[in-house]
Structure 1
């Protein structure tokens, strides 16, 4: 057979051998194993494509390597096929014996298959024809249904238009039918317009009957608008458009007249029915405008005449009070009807589009200056009065959602925008910050006479800062909605004062011009600054924060914490300036003490090249070294305004710096004297050797340097006693210890005692 011819010869030894398996090399890997990139399962994929497979592998596998692997895989497959044939050789041989007369069997099966195929094709054609016929019928049915809907819509539209016209005609006939008075149930069972006899009981008057008819007409007009919206492009509807417009115009006119009549006579039932009619035709704006022009406008005109010619003031507080009284008297009638629960009248906004709109228009026309921030005090008063007025109007809202809707009205938003709070704050900023700047640009510190003030401040600059800080949170200045801006202004004022003071102290230290007040200030003037900084820091971190918290008590705890921390930081920045002011006082006092210390050079002149005996008492200049410090401490300002702790810091700081200067000058004098004395002795010895005189120098006389040191030693003892009188322990000052070691005799070096 054909298959047997393609098979290789198989020996009996091969038949007896088991199937071949891949052998392993020394390392345990199969000899015919493939690399990881060669996936045999890829060939079994239904969508396998040889070209794409090769193109994907060629990007990282050489073509020769790929061909070698494919040939190896082909050989493996052939070998596996041979093994399979050898394993099932008996079945393979029997297969050829069973395939007898296959062609005849195929011919016998082909005829019925062809017949079945023809039947299926015929049935399929019949089904497709039925389907096309069915789809055509369904399409015709849908078109007929759509045409029927349009026809019904047109018929309904025609009926509604006719019904509306009939009801309008009946409406015009109502006054004639009811001219003799109220209807009685015994006289008439029903009205020709279909109103039930229960509506004609005793007490139903003409207005109520008209309003009920109008409500019914409005309901029909609402249906008519619905039909018109769904079929407005049809010729039939276009031909009826003029009739619809006429009916709508007649309804608006009649409804407006009935609504005005009901408002004038305060007929609750008539007004209620009219409002339902307006809501039915979605024409709330007309009702709001009629209420505004009929009821609200005359009331507001009494309070704020539009044609006043500008002869009245711009204050609004009294006007708002009168308007609120008039609203409570004449407007609550309609407001109560419109807020009736489950009435569907919540769509009206008489508060916003009638009352508030008229009030705003009257203010714009009669008192336009009320909105001008050019006069901040009057502007703020009017603004707060307006907020109170709005809050009073919100009191008529029956629910929170009604309040939210009122605030979302365009007239409400526009009214709030009329008050330009940004410009107002800018003017207040210039006013408050400008007053502080004016106080700080002066060329000198300005003390406040005690008789002119009951406050604790001593300088005009400090008092101005405190007044400006308080102005930020005054009731006649603060706008709560922008309190964050006033908080920022508060911190800016503190920072401005702190920068002014720190810059002045720096200029005083470097002697730079531009801060004349600091250059011209005396130490006593800085006492005022220290006192004012203490008072300002205590006030800002104490009562001032409490006052701000009382104003912002409605804010969240987190906001209050942030406010507190920021103000405390500002108070701390003022407190932190006190050490710098103390240092400036100390520098001034040290400079004055240096003038006295310069007399140290007189000691050298007194003992140089003279036979003046050794000193027995201290120099007269010593008492003047600490005199500036004592005079400052004994002054009235220091005793009045400096605390004991501040005095102690000032004394200790001044004592250390003066002693340092004293030590430097004394060390320079002693070292210079010793060098000079050594040079003179060398010269004398040279002269004696040249003259042949004895080189014996008398050691019985005290040298000039020793006498200078003796004088300095007496002086520093007195200086130490003067320090002690000020409460300063001289031995604890490092510079004093160095000075003692410099001039004290050898037997006094170990202990500082005087």
Structure 2
């Protein structure tokens, strides 16, 4: 519908009224942006009059049609009734035609289904025909060679290899079509002939491959391996090489008696095993691309004789013929055997032709089996008892002084360092046990720390009796043999010398303790911590206090033993100074305990 055009002076567009989303409020708001409401009202009234005039003109133009509208509709019902009959007939005819078309479509679908079934049966027949043709073709090749007195047994190896390769190509097609024709009755009749061809082909391939390896005929070996690959029997070829070529060598080299009778027997055996690959697998590696000199054009892919032939026979031979190799009862011997064996594994990996071959080797079940045979947890337990037991023995001796020339003051500290070093030393540490030895290291340090923070000492250390035992023995053995005065002089001189050295040792220990305390105090002040001192009343005696108290008890015990030997403490040079030294240490320890 087209509205009449208004004058150009109107403040609005007439087409706005015909829009579906016309909104009065929006229309008024837009107009007010341009004119006042009074002017907008005048424009609307002007356009209203224009619309009214246009409507009157439209009615006048078609007035006759409006008047005659009712007259023209007279008899319309009768006309419509006359059309209903032919329309009904037409509907019936259309429905009948539709039914006929559906029947034709169903018939066509049935025929197409039958045709599809026929096509499938035709394909099955063609496959069966191809199976029969392949069987006849292979038998013809065999018969022709037999007739010409050039059978596979009597013909030249190279010719036999070429014939087998032709047969294998056809045999591969035969196998494909036979699988596709599975379940067909005719196939069951041909199966005996297929089985005969299969047996002949495998037997001939095995014999020819062995002959090629024995005579180092690279062409025959290449033909045989290519034939094995054609019939998808590469693993059979690798297994054959393992049994015929590898196993006899391993039976000869892997001998337990030889390993046990020679100091380096295991290493010598592994060396001979490593020599097998360069000496006996050169031809196979050259054909399959495992050698550097391999010609890319003549490579037969899909084989890995080192991984699937050599390695399994080596591991099987070692596990079956040298079971004692994995015995962890003697940790030193176990360490030697394990490291030599792992070195052999690394060298064998270097003989693999590629990184992919190394990955296949490490994923091989025999590789995992060989590593799992080594009972590393038991080996570690033996080392654990050995190392931890050494520290426990030192702890049981108490705060015994370290021997002269040691970097430490206490024997237990020196033993701790020795134990920690032993965890990571050659002949002990094994990389797969790194986490266990690290844990043991932490346990050793923790045990040492616990030992130094144990309960307050109440008696002299055990080393005092051990140190004085020779003097008591001297008195016992010399009695009634040497004059008492001489024995007393011996004791005085000996004890004076020992006391002098003991004084120096204790002075060093107390000096180290004092320096450690001062360092800790400075560290605490630097960190500005608010925690109380470990020597406080609630925290209990510190490690330093326990050391001072233990030294005081040891010196007092020494004084008692001097008197038991018949001497006076004043007879021993430096003893009074030693006693004063430890007494000061005891007083300092007591002051720490009382919090003063």
Residues 502 and 326 (structure 1), Cα distance of their counterparts in 2 relative to 1, 3 Å cut: same
Question: Which of 91, 107, 132 is the aligned partner of 2:81?
Answer: 107
Report the Cα distance in structure 1 between the residues aligned to 2:102 and 2:592, rounded to whole angstroms: 122
Residues 474 and 310 (structure 1), Cα distance of their counterparts in 2 relative to 1, 3 Å cut: closer
Q: Tell whether the 8 Å contact from 2:256 to 2:321 is kept in structure 1 after alignment.
A: yes
Report the Cα distance in structure 2 between the residues aligned to 1:431 and 1:237, rounded to whole angstroms: 72
**What is the correspondence of 1:145-184 to structure 2 with a 5 Å cutoff?**
145-170=119-144, 176=150
The Cα of 1:313 is off from its aligned counterpart by 7.6
Q: Tell whether the 8 Å contact from 2:400 to 2:461 is kept in structure 1 after alignment.
A: no
Question: Which of 405, 424, 445 is the aligned partner of 1:473?
Answer: 424
Residues 459 and 120 (structure 1), Cα distance of their counterparts in 2 relative to 1, 3 Å cut: same
Report the Cα distance in structure 2 between the residues aligned to 1:307 and 1:171, rounded to whole angstroms: 52
**Residue 488 (str. 1) matches residue 439 (str. 2):** yes
Structure 1 alignment gaps of length 5 or more:
1-93, 181-204, 537-578, 593-626, 639-649, 665-734, 736-754
Question: Which of 581, 584, 609 is the aligned partner of 2:543?
Answer: 581
Q: Tell whether the 8 Å contact from 1:349 to 1:406 is kept in structure 2 after alignment.
A: no
**Residue 421 (str. 1) matches residue 352 (str. 2):** no
Report the Cα distance in structure 2 between the residues aligned to 1:591 and 1:311, rounded to whole angstroms: 58
1:347 partner SS = coil
**Residue 224 (str. 1) matches residue 197 (str. 2):** no
Report the Cα distance in structure 1 between the residues aligned to 2:255 and 2:547, rounded to whole angstroms: 67
**Counterpart position of 2:563:** none
Report the Cα distance in structure 1 between the residues aligned to 2:183 and 2:503, rounded to whole angstroms: 96
The Cα of 1:305 is off from its aligned counterpart by 3.2
The Cα of 1:164 is off from its aligned counterpart by 2.0
Question: Which of 130, 133, 137 is the aligned partner of 2:111?
Answer: 137
**Residue 379 (str. 1) matches residue 379 (str. 2):** no
**Residue 404 (str. 1) matches residue 355 (str. 2):** no
Report the Cα distance in structure 1 between the residues aligned to 2:257 and 2:465, rounded to whole angstroms: 63
**Counterpart position of 1:358:** 313
2:424 partner SS = coil
2:453 partner SS = helix
Question: Which of 261, 282, 291 is the aligned partner of 2:232?
Answer: 282
Report the Cα distance in structure 2 between the residues aligned to 1:659 and 1:129, rounded to whole angstroms: 114
Q: How many residues align?
A: 447
The Cα of 1:633 is off from its aligned counterpart by 8.2
Coordinate RMSD, CA, aligned: 4.4
1:395 partner SS = helix
Residues 332 and 378 (structure 1), Cα distance of their counterparts in 2 relative to 1, 3 Å cut: farther
The Cα of 1:395 is off from its aligned counterpart by 2.3
Residues 120 and 177 (structure 1), Cα distance of their counterparts in 2 relative to 1, 3 Å cut: closer
Q: Tell whether the 8 Å contact from 1:256 to 1:290 is kept in structure 2 after alignment.
A: yes
Question: Which of 209, 228, 242 is the aligned partner of 2:159?
Answer: 209
**What is the correspondence of 1:698-709 to structure 2 with a 5 Å cutoff?**
none
Report the Cα distance in structure 2 between the residues aligned to 1:392 and 1:313, rounded to whole angstroms: 21
1:474 partner SS = coil
Q: String of CA shifts for 1:25-49, please: whole Å, max 9, x gaps.
A: xxxxxxxxxxxxxxxxxxxxxxxxx
**What is the correspondence of 1:269-668 to structure 2 with a 5 Å cutoff?**
269-305=219-255, 316-339=266-289, 341=296, 345-442=300-397, 444-450=398-404, 455-503=406-454, 506-508=455-457, 580-586=542-548, 631=578
Higher relative contact order (CA 8 A, sep 6+): 2
The Cα of 1:534 is off from its aligned counterpart by 12
Q: Tell whether the 8 Å contact from 1:436 to 1:461 is kept in structure 2 after alignment.
A: yes
Residues 488 and 527 (structure 1), Cα distance of their counterparts in 2 relative to 1, 3 Å cut: farther
Structure 2 alignment gaps of length 5 or more:
1-67, 467-501, 517-540, 555-573
Report the Cα distance in structure 1 between the residues aligned to 2:89 and 2:592, rounded to whole angstroms: 133
Residues 589 and 295 (structure 1), Cα distance of their counterparts in 2 relative to 1, 3 Å cut: closer
**Residue 119 (str. 1) matches residue 93 (str. 2):** yes
Normalised by the length of structure 2, the TM-score is 0.65
Q: Tell whether the 8 Å contact from 1:211 to 1:273 is kept in structure 2 after alignment.
A: yes
The Cα of 1:337 is off from its aligned counterpart by 1.8
